[in-house]
């Protein structure tokens, strides 16, 4: 099978997933593990993911570690896919999982060369096929496929109807259901299950709503707080959602956003977003909290960022990415709104970023006390 990039660079390899052809933005992830969480992260919709670690799949796949209702990555690229599965929780191999979910996968290519090419040239469209092995013909299809810039994808991954989240097994140390103190409405732009688990652990009742839910509909649910989730696509394509977030912020209801939610908060306050050359994807990204000087090891998955020069005076940058100095956190100076450009629920630290959930709970408590 072959992998063709939009600039014509071609890689030949071996199929270890489903037969077929897939198109998407070619990106890479630097995590050594977590491939199941990556595949089922809705933020990877519209993308083909290359893992930089050379051996992937050795602990198999299980039903407990999925982050959403199905895999969202368009295709998967690895140096070597392990046929030997050695973990007591495993229920099937990675290759079997890809086949069962109709995800095209390629191995035995030089992933180092592929990643260096993306770092030099930038993330770009690509095609992956076990069927059309003519590079020129596949390249034509790649060039006809949609570009990630200005592409709206949250509506493709969100739930169709609102629902109340109930953890099947409540997390250790969580508050019992009878003592749930706060009602949080979570916008599903591509929300990961572990974010919902974290809120449940801190004693929150969660109502998950579709990405196009209006501010009026959310406020009618009488939430104590609002969560804006991660998700795929270009935030600049979501002008209607941005207008709703403006209205929600004006209500002075506490708001916490991550990743796409962070970008949308920046946009709602007048900031601008831009596409990164090759994005940040991995479980080893160093972030500095400017308010404390503390360094966190964090998980990232994004290809867009907020331009700090575009932010108004009443919004301050609270975190920066130490690899490239991009904005990694925001806070409004007078409204109870803050956000980060990473995944605190992924816990690669493993507990470096859990304070963000605690900070949000403090905002909810303060808000209740003021109203009381």
For residue 335, how many other CB atoms are within 10 A of its CB? 17
Query: For the chain, what percentages of helix, strand and coil (3-state, to nearest 5) are there?
Result: 30, 30, 40
198 is catalytic: no
Between CA 157 and CA 190 the distance in angstroms is 6
| Catalytic residue (one of 25, 259, 262, 319) | 259
For residue 36, how many other CB atoms are within 10 A of its CB? 21
244 is catalytic: no
Q: Copy the structure tokens of residue 13.
A: 């390899």
Task: Annotate 151-172 with DSSP letters as a single string.
Answer: -B-HHHHS-SS-EEE--SSPPT
At 217 the three-state DSSP class reads: helix
User: What angle, 0 to 180 degrees and rounded to 10, lies between the N-to-C axes of helices 239-250 and 260-268?
Assistant: 70
Between CA 127 and CA 93 the distance in angstroms is 24
Between CA 114 and CA 109 the distance in angstroms is 8
| Catalytic residue (one of 280, 319, 332, 343) | 343
Q: Copy the structure tokens of residue 86.
A: 């050695």
343 is catalytic: yes
φ, ψ dihedrals at 166, nearest 5°? -130, 115
Q: Strands of the chain (E only): list them.
A: 2-5, 10-12, 14-15, 21-29, 47-51, 55-56, 75-77, 80-81, 104-107, 124-129, 163-165, 182-188, 204-210, 225-228, 255-258, 273-289, 295-306, 315-321, 327-332, 337-340
- Using alpha carbons, list the distances in angstroms from residue 65 to 5, 91, 202, 211, 213: 31, 11, 20, 24, 28
Cβ contact 345:197 at 8 Å: yes
Q: Copy the structure tokens of residue 330.
A: 């925001």
| Catalytic residue (one of 6, 37, 67, 345) | 345
Between CA 162 and CA 221 the distance in angstroms is 11
Active site (catalytic) residues: 259, 343, 345
């Amino acid at each position: 099978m072959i992998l063709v990039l939009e600039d014509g660079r071609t890689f030949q390899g071996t199929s270890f997933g489903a037969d077929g052809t897939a198109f998407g933005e070619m990106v890479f992830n630097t995590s050594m593990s977590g491939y199941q969480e990556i595949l089922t992260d809705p933020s990877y919709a519209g993308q083909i993911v290359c893992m930089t670690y050379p051996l992937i799949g050795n602990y198999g796949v299980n039903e407990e570690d999925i982050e959403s209702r199905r895999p969202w990555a368009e295709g998967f690229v690895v140096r070597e896919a392990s046929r030997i599965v050695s973990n007591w929780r495993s229920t099937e191999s990675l290759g079997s999982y890809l086949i069962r979910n109709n995800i095209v996968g390629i191995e035995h290519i030089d992933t180092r060369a592929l990643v260096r090419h993306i770092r030099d040239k930038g993330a770009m469209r690509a095609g992956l096929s076990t069927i059309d092995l003519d590079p020129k013909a596949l390249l034509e299809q790649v060039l006809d496929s949609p570009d990630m810039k200005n592409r709206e994808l949250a509506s493709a991954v969100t739930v169709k109807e609102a629902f109340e989240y109930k953890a099947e097994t409540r997390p250790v140390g969580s508050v019992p259901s009878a003592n749930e103190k706060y009602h949080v409405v979570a916008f599903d732009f591509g929300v990961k299950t572990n974010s919902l688990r974290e809120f449940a652990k801190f004693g929150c009742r969660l109502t998950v709503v579709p990405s196009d839910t209006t501010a009026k509909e959310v406020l009618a649910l009488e939430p104590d707080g609002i969560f804006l989730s991660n998700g795929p696509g270009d935030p600049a394509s979501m002008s209607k959602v941005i207008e709703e977030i403006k209205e929600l912020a004006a209500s002075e209801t506490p708001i916490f956003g991550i990743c796409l939610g962070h970008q949308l908060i920046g946009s709602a306050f007048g900031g601008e977003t831009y596409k990164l050359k090759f994005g940040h994807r991995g479980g080893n990204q160093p972030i500095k909290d400017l308010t404390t000087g503390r360094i966190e090891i964090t998980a990232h998955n994004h290809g867009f960022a907020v331009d700090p020069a575009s932010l108004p005076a009443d919004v301050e940058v609270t975190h920066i990415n130490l690899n490239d100095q991009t904005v990694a956190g925001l806070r409004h100076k007078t409204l109870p709104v803050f956000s980060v450009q990473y995944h605190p629920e992924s816990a690669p630290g493993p507990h470096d970023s859990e304070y963000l959930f605690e900070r949000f709970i403090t905002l909810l408590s303060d808000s209740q006390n003021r109203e009381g």
